[in-house]
Amino acid sequence: MTPKIDVSHLTNLFQDLCRINTPPLKEKPIADYVQNMLEGMGLECIRDEAHIATGGDCGNMIVNIPGTKPGVPIFLSAHFDTVEPNPNVKIVIENGVIKTDGNSILGADDKAGLAAILETVHVLMENKISHGYIQLLLSVSEEIGLRGAANMNHDLIKARMGYVLDTGPPVGAIIYTAPTHDIFEVDFRGRAAHAGFEPENGVSAIQAAALAISKMNLGRIDEETTANVGVIQGGVATNVIPECVTLRAEARSRNRDKLAAQVEHMSAVFRSAAKELGASVDIRVNREYESYMLREDDPVIGLAKKAAESIGLPTSLRAGGGGSDANIYNRIGIPACVLGTGMRAVHTHSEHILIDDLVRSAQWALAICMTAAAESVA
């Protein structure tokens, strides 16, 4: 039988984690906090040198938990960073919901996953529960393109498969596929002129960019593909025809042919708009991460479902629309799926989580560790 989760201990742990301000590249305070906690349990924490590549103040943390019995070696993973700073977060608990006062993000993405993992380890150690070999892969800089996991020392990963606790409800959701993600950096260049005296001598880079956006297929393209223009910067004053504008845009798809078609469509529209208005355009497309697709009969999914069944948790397979560290782990040949943690309205100041979901996440992670210990190593 899976031991019960101490609701009060887990809730306090989650709040403590959320109160540590950890935007991307500034994760050292929470890494130090977690390392102190885990070393207090007698575990060794390894920091890699990913921060050299990311420019951050801290590398990823890899924790080895030696098995007390044979079983399938697995990892549990979460990321330290949050999408934006929340140095003055004020946490409110009402009717079983943890949220903020509305002036900042909560940080449940991904401190809900991190809290569930740490609580799992706490329960395993405190209750001396038999388990197989477990690793914790705790990454940095996830929110800015999975950069921590991409620059992790992958030689340190000994697990056969793993679970990334980093998506929304319901707890029991298993993300078996996620898209490839391309980022556009686009520079329009027109010609500056005084907007009052001689506007006809200018070529507006903003107008060229606007023309392109107005003709572009954006939003949900189909069930596998999305696209967005998210950032536009340019201009110096209202009385100057803007010479330069920079755009940042993206396209994602779980189908590579569809992604290639969307990228080409967007590129062609950028070029056409620039030509129509007499501007020039420079387009750079960078791949953030590659897609992955697992099968329902893959062991990593089978183990998650079997563990959920052992605690009476319904499961469902879902396709993801965003990336996670699982994209990186699958790319290097280690099967990994993403598990629902119950975080809601993430990346907004309305972010919140139900205490019940937080508990269910920890119960599931614990059940996965216990189930893996009973599985064949072959």
Coil, helix or strand for 222? strand
Backbone angles phi, psi at 100, to 5 degrees: -110, 180
Active site residue 39: no
- C-alpha separations of 82 from 38, 65, 91 in Å: 21, 26, 16
Euclidean distance between CA atoms 13 and 38, whole angstroms: 13
Instruction: Extract long-range pairs of 269-272: CB within 8 Å, 24+ residues apart.
Output: 269/212, 269/215, 269/216, 270/186, 270/188, 270/212, 272/212, 272/215
Residue written as tokens 């940095």? 140
What is the H or E stretch that residue 165 is in?
strand 161-167
Euclidean distance between CA atoms 266 and 251, whole angstroms: 9
Residue 183: how many other CB atoms lie within 10 Å:
16
Tokens of 71: 């079983």
Tell me, what amino acid is at 110? D
Max Cα distance, the chain (Å): 81
Catalytic residue, from 27, 142, 325, 351: name it: 142
The DSSP bridge partners found for residue 20 are none
- Show Cβ contacts of residue 275 under 8 Å, excluding neighbours closer than 6 positions: none
Euclidean distance between CA atoms 205 and 127, whole angstroms: 64
Active site residue 84: no
Euclidean distance between CA atoms 226 and 179, whole angstroms: 10
Backbone angles phi, psi at 187, to 5 degrees: -115, 115
Catalytic residue, from 81, 182, 250, 325: name it: 81
> Which sequence positions are flagged as catalytic?
81, 142
